[in-house]
Amino acid sequence: MATSPEAWQLASWAKKDEQRARIPIDWLLKDSPSPQSTNYLDVPRKCGLLSADELRITEDHDATGLAEAIKSRKLKSVDVVKAFCKRAAIAHQLTNCLTEILFDDAISRAAELDAHLATGKAPLGPLHGVPVSLKDTFKVKGYDASIGLAALTFKPSEENSTLVDILLNAGAVLYCKTNVPQTLMALDSHNNVFGRTLNPLNNAVTAGGSSGGEGALLALRGSVLGVGTDVGGSIRIPAMCHGTFGVKPSSERIPYAGQENGTLPGSAKLGVAASAGPLAHSIRDIELFFRAVSEQKPWEMDPDVVPSPWSSLATTSGKRLKIGVVRRDGVMEPHPPILRLLDEVSNKLKAHGVDVVDMDITPLFSQCQSLANVLFGIDGGNAMFSLLESGKEPLSPWLSTRMRRKPALTLDKVRELQAKRTALQTQFLQIWKDGAGDAIDAFICPVAPHPVPPIDRWNGVSYTSSFVLLDYPAGTVPVRMFDKADMQGDMSLTKAVGSWDKANRKLWKDVDREVYVGTPLCVQVVAPKLAERALVEAMGVVDAAVKGGKGAIGSKL
């Protein structure tokens, strides 16, 4: 006898019906990719749905270029927004990257913004007419922020998240929201409501999480500028998986207020605060995002944001940079191609005129992940489990063996953990000087100790969560693609440090390394707390060094 569907299944069917209804029929792909096809990057260009003008708009510009073209009225916002809406619809059909579809509202707003310029008025802000995509955690009035939980579906937000209002005030056009993992605490973007997001570069490897939908959308150029959030690596990991730039700022730089993350209000004040930040195709677009937000004086809208205009932040412009190289965290040994990549980038930085200094910070670095993990779970997951249980929703397979309801930590235990965190942050202040006492502007390190892994095989997040614990701004810079030569090399013969390292080593020893071929190899750049401008400038220097000037601030794509 057939059983009745559970509440979460009904919610999933209804949300998917809603998605389909919001995509115009003539934007639907006529043919699905061949089952043998693992890379979807050419589909938007070859499917016949995008006109020559739409291809030029979505492929030949970054956000900065689009903003300039719209401001000078060389392009109309309505044409730009329609092109990205259509390309986002195509990307969704290929990768399942979207949650909420805002196309109709976006096209109407774009027309209004064009009319505004036609009267001779100045642009609303640096993002006037530019389409911007958002992670599903952001609340947009009139649309769900379900974060893939059945219990939160069909409960439209009554107001915008603070950053949403700021982006609108800066002239942005918001046109879609993107998929996330169940609970936001997984490294592969799968949930029971919307399903799994695929990586369009290679559908056998993960799209990452928790901003995985943003990463996939950008990879297919269905977005020119996206906004994600990061509490353990959730911007930097999807950026690595898809070969884009992505920055997690310090928690007091960009407004985070008004997000839906499945926790009780004030929880971040007790544990570790998440950050909101950009994913983009160019370094200058990363800078554009920070400048656009700063110009709106976000500290007047979110009390957690420090009052410091972008132009007031310390700059490294005009000085010879000193960049450190951190190869290991003392928790997981990097795979051979990751260590070679660091050497490769180090040598290119030296050739680019950068002072490079090796940094061994493993005695401190190795203490971060375990402390961060405990602080992530101070409430025992009780708020999230209550949401899941209200929809009779099971945990995703990857989470089912890793997450369970626990007692919330006592106040005294939280106090003790925060004291340890403060002590560790204080000790870390010493790493920003070299042996001669000169300041180190930033350092590079892995985003992960392994290449982009198969679905549901991402290992630990010690290389990313540590900088959330320390509240350092950090960003992903793509270097090149993994090729067959990168398959060579053996792991260190030293004994695995622990269970995390053991699982990490299996990703090199027990996986067919062919799966890594054609996936991005990236480095992470880290700067001192609240030094976002210096971070972006250092990322630009790293990008220029590895790409011969392409991608630095002020350059073209």
pLDDT at 268 over 60: yes
**CATH code at 105?**
3.90.1300.10
DSSP bridge partners of 476: 246, 524
Mean pLDDT of 243-259: 98
Q: Exactly one of 77, 157, 234, 346 is catalytic; which is it?
A: 234
Instruction: Examine residue 555 and state whether it is found in any structural domain, yes or no.
Output: no
Q: Is 233 annotated as a binding residue?
A: yes
353 is in an annotated binding site: no
Q: What is the pLDDT of residues 79-123, one digit of tens each?
A: 999 999 999 999 999 999 999 999 999 999 999 999 999 999 999
311 catalytic? Reply is no
The pair of structure tokens assigned to 483 is 């090729």
pLDDT digit string, tens, across residues 173-218: 999 999 999 999 999 999 999 999 999 999 999 999 999 999 999 9
pLDDT at residue 552 in the model: 42
d(CA 26, CA 42): 19
135 is catalytic: yes
Domain presence at residue 342? yes
Does 232 show up as a binding residue in the annotation? yes
DSSP letter for each residue of 204-244: TB---SSSHHHHHHHHTTS-SEEEEEESSSTTHHHHHHHT-
- Give tens-digit pLDDT for 394-431: 999 999 999 999 999 999 999 999 999 999 999 999 99
Number of domains in the chain: 1
157 catalytically annotated: no
The verdict on pTM exceeding 0.75 is: yes
Is 381 within any annotated ligand binding site? no
Residue at 38 is within a domain: no
Is 103 inside a domain boundary?
Answer: yes
Host domain of residue 283: 11-31+49-309+318-547
The reply to whether 207 falls in a domain is yes
* Residue 493 confidence (pLDDT): 82
Check whether 25 has a pLDDT greater than 80: yes
pLDDT band at 1; cut points 50, 70, 90: low
Selecting among 82, 135, 248, 348, the annotated active-site residue is 135
553 within a domain of the structure (yes/no): no
Is residue 40 a part of any domain in this protein? no
Query: 300-306: long-range contacts at Cβ-Cβ below 8 A with a sequence spacing of 24 or more?
Result: 301/162, 301/165, 301/166, 301/255, 301/257, 302/162, 302/255, 302/256, 302/257, 304/251, 304/252, 304/255, 304/256, 304/257, 304/273, 305/252, 305/253, 305/254, 305/255, 306/252, 306/253, 306/530
Is 317 one of the annotated binding-site residues? no
Domain presence at residue 79: yes
Selected catalytic residue, list 210, 346, 465, 466: 210
Distance CA(250)–CA(443), nearest Å, equals 16
Nearest-angstrom CA–CA distance, 161 and 174: 13
| CA quadruple 249, 251, 252, 256: dihedral sign | positive
